[in-house]
């Protein structure tokens, strides 16, 4: 039964590492729902956060195959973890005078921010977990979403990370 899983892959910050990991997913047929990557507090280490939809057996294979790559330091499977999960969304919505108030009201309800206002559009910035952003986007479908971008999920497990 496929479900959504989030894994963090700690990798050496070397050229091509992203291509290696992404290529592995591609050639073994593992899907990538979202992928966020950047350096960590240790400049030599980068962190990739990948969400993938698959069953348990496939997830085990994903973690083991990724873990085999020489540049991969550690693979963390967050399936069982208590996590802090966040994603950032920028959403440009058509908002001429008649609708703007409603749109901004919805934005406030979601505790988002209007970060741009222009020729009949607003850009709303929203930070939260995936469900919150998905819910917001669903509501915005009633209006005219002109452009949208999401960062993809990043997570940290709560409490002290066992090393």
Interacting residue with another protein among 1, 57, 98, 162 (CB under 8 A): 57
Interacting residue with another protein among 38, 39, 40, 61 (CB under 8 A): 61
- Under rule CB under 8 A, residue 43 binds another protein: no
Nearer to another protein, 26 or 101 (CB): 26
CA distances from 49 to 8, 44, 133 (A): 5, 17, 17
Nearest distance from residue 64's CB to another protein, in Å?
Answer: 4
Q: Are strands 45-54 and 34-39 parallel, antiparallel or unpaired?
A: antiparallel
Largest CA distance in the chain: 57
CB 48 within 8 A of CB 30: no
Please state, as a whole number, how many other Cβ atoms lie within 10 Å of the Cβ of residue 134.
13
Nearest distance from residue 93's CB to another protein, in Å?
Answer: 39
Interacting residue with another protein among 2, 67, 111, 134 (CB under 8 A): 67
């Amino acid at each position: 039964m496929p479900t959504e899983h989030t894994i963090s892959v700690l990798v050496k910050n070397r050229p091509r590492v992203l291509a290696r990991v992404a290529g592995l997913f591609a050639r073994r047929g593992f899907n990538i729902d979202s992928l966020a990557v950047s350096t960590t507090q240790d400049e030599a280490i980068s962190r990739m956060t990948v969400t993938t939809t698959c069953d348990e057996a496939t997830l085990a294979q994903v973690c083991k195959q990724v873990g085999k790559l020489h540049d991969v330091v550690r693979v963390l499977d967050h399936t069982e973890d208590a996590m802090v999960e966040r994603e950032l969304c920028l959403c440009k919505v058509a908002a001429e005078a008649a609708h703007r108030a409603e749109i901004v009201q919805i934005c406030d309800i979601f505790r988002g921010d209007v970060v741009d206002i222009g020729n009949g559009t607003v850009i709303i910035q929203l930070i939260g977990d995936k469900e919150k952003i998905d819910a917001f986007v669903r509501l915005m479908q009633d209006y005219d979403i002109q452009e949208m971008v999401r960062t993809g999920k990043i997570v940290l497990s709560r409490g002290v990370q066992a090393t």
